[in-house]
């Protein structure tokens, strides 16, 4: 297991500089590693996670105990806690990544110019990736595996709440790298809880860090976006909406609403606002809210909704811009698809939105006019996940508009270069 580095100040600066140099040194051999070598490392990582499951669970028990003592919220504890099923899911996710096509060297496009030059746009690794995350130890496995598949060294800075768990998982990743003959420094976990380590990553580690991906709460992501001197893939928060249209089938609407909110309330794809078409308020509103309430959800409702559903709390302006990450949902009646689009475009964080509808025109308008990274029709917002998209796993959901948007998987962790082949051409 990783040895905890407890010093701070200048010592942390030196530590992070060394981590950056070692990651940069691993970049070239990793960029040219064969698909077979990377896949062998990934399979060995998955095997190590399964064989060391007891060690990982024991380390996680320490983190969970510490979390209870420090008063972590229920959503944080849900993200932090591991069990045998989640460990198997981690290993399965890594194997799924191994089974994906190798993106490095993939020819994205090719064409020939009138002068005979043949041009190809080819995927290449991004370089050294820094991932800063909070209490999700599974991110250690997901990020390490995805970056390896894309040929990128990665520096992982997990939260202090999950350091024991992440260290145990990281040991499995390094074991897999070494088994395949790849540099162990290709996946590094920052071995300190000193916050100065994050500051050094935001500065770019002396030019050795090429991109940062923050995965955590609003304060963490906000800090990274405002202070980082290198490019950032991030979403600030997941204020996700579910709209029930007048054409929605009631049973489907109930089933999707309960799953979108209550399957796991602490994930960024959980629905936080429910919008219901005023035209079907009399038939759809109460059954949906009854089902949510029966599942343990607290309802914050506008005045119109409260007149029809009495077991609710009055919504305030803050409810429309709150990512609860808890069993709470804000509910509002809107004037059809136009009202839903207007509300979403006003209050959304551009993460994930869903519509339940049978009217094809309403669905197409929803898809065409809402500018969010992920849009779903007749499906739960909880499908906003790289694994569910067939990516094996994801590092996070990007809501910006540069380079990556939506789940950040293997392809999103690559850049590209142009290869131009000639036969002696010179430019006139």
Residue 64 confidence (pLDDT) above 70: yes
Q: What pLDDT, on a 0 to 100 scale, did the predictor assign at position 187?
A: 98
Please state the rounded mean pLDDT for residues 347-372: 97
Residue 1 confidence (pLDDT) above 50: no
Shared domain for 120 and 73, answered yes or no, is yes
Residue 35 CB neighbours (<10 A) = 16
**Assigned domain for 76 exists:** yes
Q: Which residues, listed in sequence order, are joined to residue 109 by a DSSP beta bridge?
A: 121
Residue 387 confidence (pLDDT) above 90: no
Residue ranges in 52-162 assigned as alpha helix (H): 53-70, 74-80, 84-99, 138-149
Q: CATH number, domain at 31?
A: 3.40.605.10
**Assigned domain for 108 exists:** yes
Shared domain for 224 and 250, answered yes or no, is no
Shared domain for 163 and 61, answered yes or no, is yes
Residue 135 confidence (pLDDT) above 90: no
Q: What is the pLDDT of residues 216-275, one digit of tens each?
A: 777 888 889 899 999 998 777 899 999 999 999 999 999 999 999 999 998 899 999 999
What distance in Å separates the CA atoms of residue 259 and residue 312, rounded to the nearest whole number? 19
What distance in Å separates the CA atoms of residue 22 and residue 186, rounded to the nearest whole number? 8
**Assigned domain for 133 exists:** yes
The number of distinct structural domains making up the chain is 2
Q: What pLDDT, on a 0 to 100 scale, did the predictor assign at position 74?
A: 80
Q: Domain of 268?
A: 240-389
Contact 45, 98 (CB under 8 A): no
Shared domain for 153 and 295, answered yes or no, is no
Q: What is the pLDDT of residues 358-369, one digit of tens each?
A: 999 999 999 999
**Assigned domain for 84 exists:** yes
Please state the rounded mean pLDDT for residues 414-426: 96
Shared domain for 185 and 274, answered yes or no, is no
Please state the rounded mean pLDDT for residues 366-383: 97
Collapsing DSSP states into helix, strand and coil, what is residue 269? coil
Shared domain for 264 and 221, answered yes or no, is no
Q: What pLDDT, on a 0 to 100 scale, did the predictor assign at position 333?
A: 98
Contact 195, 360 (CB under 8 A): no
Q: CATH number, domain at 311?
A: 3.40.309.10
Q: What is the pLDDT of residues 148-161, one digit of tens each?
A: 999 999 999 998 99
Sequential DSSP letters for 368-421: HH---SEEEESS-GGG-STTTTTSS--S-EE-SSSS--EE--TGGGEEEEEEEE
Please state the rounded mean pLDDT for residues 67-75: 86
What distance in Å separates the CA atoms of residue 18 and residue 138, rounded to the nearest whole number? 25
Shared domain for 256 and 152, answered yes or no, is no
**Assigned domain for 425 exists:** no
Please state the rounded mean pLDDT for residues 343-361: 97
**Assigned domain for 109 exists:** yes
Task: Give which of 270, 277, 216, 198 is closest to 240, Cα–Cα.
Answer: 270
Residue 238 CB neighbours (<10 A) = 24
Q: What pLDDT, on a 0 to 100 scale, did the predictor assign at position 317?
A: 96
Shared domain for 57 and 144, answered yes or no, is yes
**Assigned domain for 398 exists:** no
Q: What pLDDT, on a 0 to 100 scale, did the predictor assign at position 171?
A: 98
Which range, of 145-159, 179-193, 327-341, 385-399, averages the lowest pLDDT?
385-399
**Assigned domain for 394 exists:** no
Q: What is the pLDDT of residues 2-60, one digit of tens each?
A: 555 555 567 999 999 999 999 999 999 999 999 999 999 999 999 999 999 999 999 99
Shared domain for 63 and 177, answered yes or no, is yes
Task: Give which of 162, 150, 63 is closest to 105, Cα–Cα.
Answer: 150
* Residue 352 host element (H or E): strand 352-356
Per-residue tokens: 6: 């407890």
What distance in Å separates the CA atoms of residue 382 and residue 269, rounded to the nearest whole number? 5
What beta strand segments (E) does 167-291 contain? 187-189, 211-215, 240-244, 271-277
Q: What is the pLDDT of residues 268-307, one digit of tens each?
A: 999 999 999 999 999 999 999 999 999 999 999 999 999 9
Shared domain for 316 and 349, answered yes or no, is yes
Shared domain for 209 and 352, answered yes or no, is no
Shared domain for 99 and 219, answered yes or no, is yes
């Amino acid at each position: 297991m990783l040895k905890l580095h407890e010093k701070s100040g200048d010592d942390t600066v030196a530590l992070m500089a060394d981590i950056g140099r070692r990651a940069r040194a691993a970049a070239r051999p990793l960029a040219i590693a064969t698909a077979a070598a990377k896949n062998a490392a990934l399979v060995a990582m998955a095997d190590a996670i399964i064989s060391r499951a007891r060690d990982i669970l024991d380390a996680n028990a320490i983190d969970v105990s510490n979390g209870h003592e420090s008063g972590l919220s229920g959503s944080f504890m849900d993200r932090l806690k591991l069990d045998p099923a989640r460990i198997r899911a981690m290993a399965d996710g890594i194997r799924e990544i191994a089974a994906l096509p190798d993106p490095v060297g993939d020819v994205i496009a090719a064409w020939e110019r009138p002068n005979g030059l043949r041009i190809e746009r080819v995927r290449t690794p991004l370089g050294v990736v820094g991932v800063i995350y909070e209490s999700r130890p599974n991110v250690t496995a997901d990020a390490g595996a995805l970056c390896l598949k894309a040929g990128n060294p990665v520096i992982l800075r997990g939260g202090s709440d999950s350091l024991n768990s992440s260290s145990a998982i990281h040991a499995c990743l390094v074991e897999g790298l070494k088994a395949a003959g790849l540099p162990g420094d290709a996946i590094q976990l920052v071995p300190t809880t000193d916050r100065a380590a994050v500051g050094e990553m935001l500065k770019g580690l002396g030019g050795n860090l090429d991109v940062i991906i923050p995965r955590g709460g609003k304060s963490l992501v906000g800090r990274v976006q405002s202070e980082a001197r290198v490019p950032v893939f991030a979403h600030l928060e997941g204020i996700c909406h579910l709209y029930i249209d007048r054409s929605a089938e009631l049973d489907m609407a109930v089933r999707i609403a309960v799953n979108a909110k209550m399957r796991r309330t602490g994930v960024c794809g959980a629905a936080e606002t429910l919008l219901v078409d005023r035209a079907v308020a009399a038939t759809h509103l109460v059954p949906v809210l009854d089902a949510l309430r029966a599942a343990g959800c607290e309802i914050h409702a506008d005045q119109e909704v409260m007149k029809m559903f009495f077991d609710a709390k009055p919504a305030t302006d803050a409810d429309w811009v709150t990512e609860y990450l808890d069993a709470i949902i804000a509910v509002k009646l809107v004037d059809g698809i136009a009202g839903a689009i207007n509300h979403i475009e006003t209050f959304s964080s551009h993460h994930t939105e869903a519509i339940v509808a049978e009217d094809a025109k309403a669905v197409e308008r929803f898809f065409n006019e809402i500018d969010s990274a992920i849009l779903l029709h007749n499906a739960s917002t909880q499908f906003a996940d790289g694994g569910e998209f067939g990516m094996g796993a994801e590092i996070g959901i990007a809501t910006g508009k540069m380079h990556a948007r939506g789940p950040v998987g293997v392809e999103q962790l690559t850049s590209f270069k142009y290869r131009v082949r000639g036969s002696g051409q010179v430019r006139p």
